Structure 1
Amino acid sequence: MTHHTRSADAEPRSRAVPAIPDPRAGDSPPDGVPLPEQALPEGAAPSPGQGLPWARVRAQGRPEDWARAVDRGQGRDQGRGQGVALEGGAEPGGGLVRFAVSSHTLRALASTEPSAEGTRLVRDVRRSKRLLLLRAVLDAAPGAEAAERWALLEEAERQDPEAVRDVLHYPATGVWAEETLRRLHASQGPPPDLAHLGALAVAAALRAGIGFKATLRPVGGRLALPTLGLLRPDRPGPLALTERSWDSCATLPLHALPGGRTALDDLDPYRAPPAAHPAPVRPARRLTPKGHKRWDTQWSGALTLLERYDSARADEIGRLLRTVVPLGGGTRSSGATLPAAAGSVLARAQAPPALAATLVHEVQHGKLAALADVLTLHTADRTPRLWAPWRSDPRPLEGLLHGAYAHLALAGYWQRAALYGARGAWAQHARVRAQVAAVLPVLRAQPQLTVTGREFVDGMAAAERTMDELPPPGDQHATARRALERERRAWCEAHPELAAFVQV
């Protein structure tokens, strides 16, 4: 069985682009900018796993198609599950294609276990969605300056496509693009930061090694260049830039974490939503060299544990995680994921075993967010009424699904760690698995699940049952279930009006 996204409406829609909802952190990522029923122009779709030819996408995208790509209607949940295609045929009369997700890929993703096809789907969805969003910004931006910046991006792309792709698909670029599109179509509020498009173009040109001239205005005495770091000019005012600027100016490079391409981003102004947006977590300020060294040590230790206990998940994290953003003080959360910043995780500095578990947990949120961009898993609203054992507050169906998915992966990770003799891992596995097992029947019973969503939850349940093959020693699992039942009763007493939603 193959799960296709829904066909496009035959009638053209308005070109107006409504405001995009605020991105927020937590285990219930909000709808970011959903993908459209139709998205990629015919001929612009790459082969699976390949990047998108930037100039071709710009040249072949028809304005009305790209307007439909970000048209969300009136409600937050309208349009969920619509997607684009990197495989499958063209739409009849539409000239555009759609994603096709096979049952095999859906089941592989539902299990949370890493797979080549699942990773490829997540990365391709993220890339397609980002290009749609950037094109929408370009179409909505007034004046000729944005087109000039875009032309510099295209010139850099012709010289070094990989470098430009990394800049455009950098996680913070997504936060900027969503915020900019929101401001472009808002009737009031702060103006859009279109100057940052120039910073993207300059960063791409510097990395591609092409000659160029551009003038940008630093903010607060610093000019952020995504994937590179900060330029710190010696005088205020507009800054004339050339291909030699990174070597001739004072710079503060982005900190590369050991052992791969993941960066510790404590510099980019869009590494998290602007301060004007309410969010349960905030990024830390720029770290000191001592702070960077501490992160290097903890990151290296976490990678060592991941590679020892679960090498497949270590590889998946390396492929899907581009940046880690340090969390600021005053937050109780160990980690968070922002849908707008696909490929990034906010995390607190913590001991390697805890950091490894945080990475496993948060990467799952990003995977599920990508899948939900192309498949409708449920039609529920955001009313919080369901019990989530890992939280004290009621959760909507979306939040419970995300939490159960991330904890299912965590249960599998702790089981593997326990088999390698990690101290306390069996107790962690028993506790987390009991939590997941308690909510899976509740998820399965929700009438708002679509057929695809039910198949996805069934795949999660099948993965949870396979853990019976390697149970914890003694009665640890039974002990964890009894403790969880006491917590459930206490929660129902504290929320008597919601007790009916806890039982299946």
Structure 2
Amino acid sequence: MPSTPVVDAEPADTALPSGLIDQIASGFGDDAAMGHLADAQLLITLNLLSRVRERAVGRHAFATDGWVMLERLDGEALAAVGEVLAHPYVRAWAMRCLQPGDDCRDHVGYVNSLAAAAALRADRAVDLRVPIVGDRVHLPTVGTVYLPGANASVAELWSVGRGFTLRVGATLVTVDGLDAPAGESWQPARRIECDGLSLLIEDGDPYRDCHQWAPSGRASSTDGARWQEHVAAAWRLIRGDAADYVPGLLAGLRTVAPLAADPGGLMRASTSRDAFGSVASVLAEPAALAVILVHEFQHGKLGALLDLCQLLDPSSTEMFMVPWRTDPRPHEGVLQGTYAHVAVADMWRRRADQSGPQQMTARKHYRQYRDWSEVGLDVLLRHPDVLTVSGRRFVQVMAAGVAGWAA
């Protein structure tokens, strides 16, 4: 489920490219549509970073050095800076810094970790103090240095050849290169490259705790390998069962964040409006994980559109009952749930057309998710007053797609 964001400005539909709403309402999103959403999300993050900097002026011992380095790298190594700042949890960090009542001193020093990561990616010299958050120094998209038992909140980091050295008191950790193998203290970013997909398994970022459930800890080498195996297998299934969703996933999905397992074995998965491009999930079998990735990324995709345009009447407080929940839902909850369930129904519809031992199960799931989708669409269509003009168009395009399916 998506979490609720903090929104400052009212979105403006007039800035949208022609056809964008229809593209996203179809459930898919072509390269141009998804590229627009991803670029807009990066601009939102950059705006938040500017606000963090304004708020933090004079309030932190070493963050100024990080801002200066990021500015310099923005002119010298724009691609490296862009890769780091597009990491989904950078926005989550910025939102943490901007929470009301938080003077941000506890978090703003993390900008130095962003700057160090960008410098290392660009093969530029770096010499910065970086925060130790929990038991680690995290360098987004690069990797994580683990420092169990470190009785400090700050480390010194400087580049050495293709790698770097980190010092905490008398403890030195040297990483010979960004592709250096994992060890007790060093975990490089776990990246999956599979049939066009390039994805991080993010188990080190301290700001990945923005999801509905708690993140898991550092994945062991065995668990990391299982994640890579299951995600790769899930991706192959998506390419076969949900090919229309592939361009959107390729353009927007950047990370999967492992969640702590439910004690009772229930499935857990989540997205956050403050972390576009990330899906959080427990480790699931590939067939289930394929559905999770499509389902949760739909929430992220719709959330990114809602950052740009108003689909829902913000003054409406009406609540609605839907079959996938036992509690009344606000209009955004109905729209989000319906949009995601349409995609899941579409996946099961395609699986139900494939002969084999799972066909009956696929047909059962298809009927359930189609029924849920139709009820959600009916609720929204019967209450057009909770939608804007753009919102009504969005729901009508969704409904037309579902109406075209065979019963």
Query: TM bucket by the smaller chain?
Result: 0.7 to 0.9
CA distance in 2, matches of 1:363, 1:419: 24
Unaligned residue ranges in structure 1 (runs of 5+): 1-25, 35-71, 73-78, 84-97, 274-278, 472-504
Equivalence for 1:267:
204
> What's the C-alpha RMSD, in Å, of the aligned pairs?
2.4
Does the aligned pair in 1 maintain the 2:116–2:139 contact within 8 Å? yes
Equivalence for 1:442:
379
User: Structure 1-normalised TM-score?
Assistant: 0.70
CA distance in 1, matches of 2:388, 2:321: 21
Equivalence for 2:370:
433
Equivalence for 1:135:
50
Equivalence for 1:461:
399
C-alpha deviation, 1:453, in angstroms = 0.8
Instruction: Decide whether aligned partners of structure 1 residues 213 and 380 sit closer, same or farther in structure 2, where only a CA change above 3 A counts.
Output: closer
Does the aligned pair in 1 maintain the 2:31–2:247 contact within 8 Å? no
Instruction: Decide whether aligned partners of structure 1 residues 396 and 272 sit closer, same or farther in structure 2, where only a CA change above 3 A counts.
Output: same
Q: Secondary structure at the match of 2:128?
A: strand
C-alpha deviation, 1:314, in angstroms = 2.8
Equivalence for 1:81:
11
CA distance in 1, matches of 2:28, 2:133: 43
Equivalence for 1:243:
159
CA distance in 1, matches of 2:145, 2:212: 30
Specify which of 148, 162, 177 is matched with residue 65 of structure 2.
148
Deviations 1:71-114 (A, max 9, x none): x3xxxxxx44347xxxxxxxxxxxxxx72242x22112111023
Q: Secondary structure at the match of 1:214?
A: strand
The structure carrying a bigger strand percent of its residues is 2
Q: Tell me if 1:159 matches 2:56.
A: no
CA distance in 1, matches of 2:134, 2:391: 47
Specify which of 207, 214, 221 is matched with residue 282 of structure 1.
214
Equivalence for 1:202:
116
C-alpha deviation, 1:224, in angstroms = 1.2
The amino acid across from 1:254 in the alignment is A
C-alpha deviation, 1:136, in angstroms = 0.8
C-alpha deviation, 1:239, in angstroms = 2.9
Equivalence for 2:87:
170
Q: Secondary structure at the match of 1:240?
A: strand
Q: Tell me if 1:230 matches 2:160.
A: no
Deviations 1:154-185 (A, max 9, x none): 22233332221111111111111000111xx5
What percent identity do the matched residue pairs reach?
30
Equivalence for 1:255:
190
Equivalence for 1:307:
239
Structure ID, larger Rg: 1
C-alpha deviation, 1:408, in angstroms = 0.8
Unaligned residue ranges in structure 2 (runs of 5+): 166-173, 176-184
Equivalence for 2:170:
none
CA distance in 2, matches of 1:290, 1:382: 49
Instruction: Decide whether aligned partners of structure 1 residues 391 and 208 sit closer, same or farther in structure 2, where only a CA change above 3 A counts.
Output: same
The amino acid across from 1:261 in the alignment is S
CA distance in 1, matches of 2:146, 2:296: 33
C-alpha deviation, 1:442, in angstroms = 1.1
User: Structure 2-normalised TM-score?
Assistant: 0.85
Equivalence for 1:405:
339
CA distance in 2, matches of 1:216, 1:445: 54
Aligned residue pairs total: 376
Instruction: Decide whether aligned partners of structure 1 residues 359 and 220 sit closer, same or farther in structure 2, where only a CA change above 3 A counts.
Output: closer
Q: Tell me if 1:122 matches 2:37.
A: yes
Equivalence for 1:86:
none
Deviations 1:132-162 (A, max 9, x none): 1111111111228444312211222333322
Q: Secondary structure at the match of 1:164?
A: helix
C-alpha deviation, 1:281, in angstroms = 1.4
Q: Secondary structure at the match of 2:39?
A: helix
C-alpha deviation, 1:220, in angstroms = 4.4
C-alpha deviation, 1:337, in angstroms = 0.5
Does the aligned pair in 1 maintain the 2:312–2:391 contact within 8 Å? yes
Equivalence for 1:99:
15
User: How do residues 239-388 of structure 1 correspond to structure 2 at under 5 angstroms?
Assistant: 239-244=155-160, 246=164, 248-249=174-175, 250-259=185-194, 260-273=197-210, 280-330=212-262, 332-380=266-314, 383=317, 385-388=319-322
Instruction: Decide whether aligned partners of structure 1 residues 445 and 80 sit closer, same or farther in structure 2, where only a CA change above 3 A counts.
Output: farther
Hey, which bits of structure 1, 4+ residues long, moved more than 6 A? Answer: none
CA distance in 1, matches of 2:202, 2:318: 33
CA distance in 2, matches of 1:178, 1:392: 31
